[in-house]
Amino acid sequence: MSKLIGFFSVAALFMTALLFVQCGESSENAQSAIEEEREQMVEAFQEQRDELLSNLKELRNELDEELSDLNQRIENAGEELGEGLEDAYAELKDDRSDLERTIDDLENATVDTWDDIKSGAEDAYSDLSSRLNEWRESIEDAL
């Protein structure tokens, strides 16, 4: 009987050790899966941020070209036409400042702040792109 109790004690100890080893492996596997998922989130965030940054910087370059062109038109325009162009120039400069702040926000974004910043940046891109196209059409009509 004592041999039987000893056997069960050893068996219980073995089962307990096996359980702890398996739990440890499960814990390690779970931790590894969490780390892998976090890495994938970071990679997706970086890809999305880089793409949006690229689009916004391209839009900024377009704005810079329009500002340069408009500045030349102001210099060559008569007094009456020049005043209207100066107002348009001031509006475009304000838009460019807003765009620059959006780019700065994106460059400083983290995975934790991404959703809010992404939404704001996408809205800013859409709004400014539309305004720039409308402005181009109106300036061509005016000239």
The pLDDT tens digits of the residues spanning 14-60 come to 455 444 545 555 777 778 888 888 888 889 989 999 999 999 999 99
pTM: 0.71
Asked whether residue 126 carries a pLDDT value surpassing 90, the answer given is yes
Could you tell me the CA-to-CA distances from 123 to 3, 31, 55, 59, 143 in Å, in that order? Answer: 77, 37, 12, 13, 30
> Which residue type does 120 have?
G
Q: Give the Cα-Cα-Cα angle 118, 124, 129 (nearest 5 degrees).
A: 130
